[in-house]
Amino acid sequence: MTSDQPLRIGYGISLTGPLGSNGRTARLAHQIWEDEINKKGGLLGRRIEMVRYDDQTNPALVPEIYSRLLGEDKVDLVMGGYGDNSLAPAMPKIIEQKRYFVGLMGLAVNATFNYPNYFAMIPTGPNPGPALTEGFFELAARQSPKPETVSILVADAPFSRSPTQGAKDNAAKHGFRVVSEATYPLATTDFTPVLREVARFNADILFLCSYLNDSVGLVRALHLVGFEPKLVGGAMIGPQNGTVKVQLGPLLNGLVNYEYWLPGPKMSFAGVQRLIAEYQARAEGKDVDPLGYYVAPQAYAQMQVIEQAVRETGSLDDEKLATYTRESPFKTVVGDVRFGPGGGWVQPRVLHAQFQNIAKYEVGEFRDGKTEVVVGPKEFASGELIYPYAKAKRT
């Protein structure tokens, strides 16, 4: 029998602004979980009620959102929104209140806080900065003749700091020489001058770290300028999103970028296909990623972690939930997950995929995973890297 008193879970998330598309995708996955749990009678005999506020991709709004959730709203549990911009500004309030906090896809958020009750649903493992780009540079190092030089171009934003440092570390590890490093303001709309300047160095590898709108501008400018490094991509937020895929279509051919989940037999974890089918059915006609491959599985798994911790402890006590989460394995739609020191996954599982043989600007080009080929790590690979970029670009 379900209690009349709902179990309220509160969070702030970017539903508008530069990261709004991914935030809305996460919200839809959260809603799917909420509806499914409520159909089964809720948690601890109480109906789930999600309390969410739009932080507008503005970190300055986040502290007040969590003050309201914990104060005026008196939610039973809090959780993290999508990405560093939503997570890092919430941490001081979470730490002050000693709350249990499961975040979504924040990269190295806890590196400065070292808060033991923070956990991150992101497969970058205990060393997230290097892990995000390690596969990209490993792929480069295996090519013959081996590329020698790197140009780094990144958004001037907090998200970029950890991947950029990780890229430098990985480049040095594999003997690549960084010949240029530049940033651009998030307000940039014309990337042609930026790419022309980078092209002057004629580096073998172009490493990019960007947000959704930036990624579209960068890829288009790359074609306009005609710059053809041997390997392009790395740490771009955007090409994973179905809306961006449709916008860029064949312009994506040859790009190599990180991913967290893609359709295919090697990634067919229990429940994930059902989730994707439900997500895509609900996504039709809505302003969200039509595919959901990047954010939806991680967002749903975020809720599964909270659900399992609550069910197994029979409690909403923050310390009990955190202790259980530190010590226990979790069954999720992205596979079995364990959390280690710092709140990251014990084992990293970052994919690197190359766009190949895209012919049209249509969402159907991307539904089966055949045009986004996993080229690393080997245990999840679905095909081979086409190298260099110019060859893949024209196939």
Residues 243 and 387 in one domain: yes
- In whole angstroms, what is the distance from residue 150 CA to residue 144 CA? 16
In a domain, 160, yes or no: yes
Chunked in runs of 10, what are the mean pLDDT values of the chain (395 residues)?
84 94 96 98 97 97 98 97 95 98 93 96 92 96 96 91 94 98 94 97 97 93 96 96 95 98 93 97 95 97 98 98 98 97 94 97 93 95 96 87
Residue 240 and residue 364 share a domain: yes
Q: How many domains are there within the chain?
A: 2
Answer yes or no: do 153 and 244 share one domain: yes
Of 319, 343, 367, which one is at a domain's C-terminal end?
343
Same domain, 196 and 303: no
**pLDDT of amino acid 317:** 98
At 134 the pLDDT is: 95
Tell me what pLDDT residue 18 has.
86
Q: Is residue 240 part of a domain?
A: yes
On whether both 296 and 320 belong to a single domain, the answer is: yes
- Is residue 351 in a domain? no
* Residue 160 belongs to domain spanning: 128-259+356-394
User: Same domain for 245 and 333?
Assistant: no
At residue 211, the pLDDT reads: 86
Domain identity same for 214 and 108: no
Whether residue 191 is found in the same domain as residue 214: yes
- 75/47 Cα distance (integer angstroms): 13
Amino acid at the residue 292: G
How far apart are the C-alpha atoms of 346 and 152, rounded to whole Å? 29
The SS3 call for residue 149 is strand
SS3 8: strand
Q: Is 380 domain-assigned? A: yes
Tell me how far apart the alpha carbons of residues 194 and 191 are, in angstroms, rounded to a whole number. 5
For residue 231, the domain's CATH number is 3.40.50.2300
Q: Are residues 216 and 135 in the same domain?
A: yes
- Tokens for 216? 């579209």
Residues 363 and 338 both lie in one domain? no
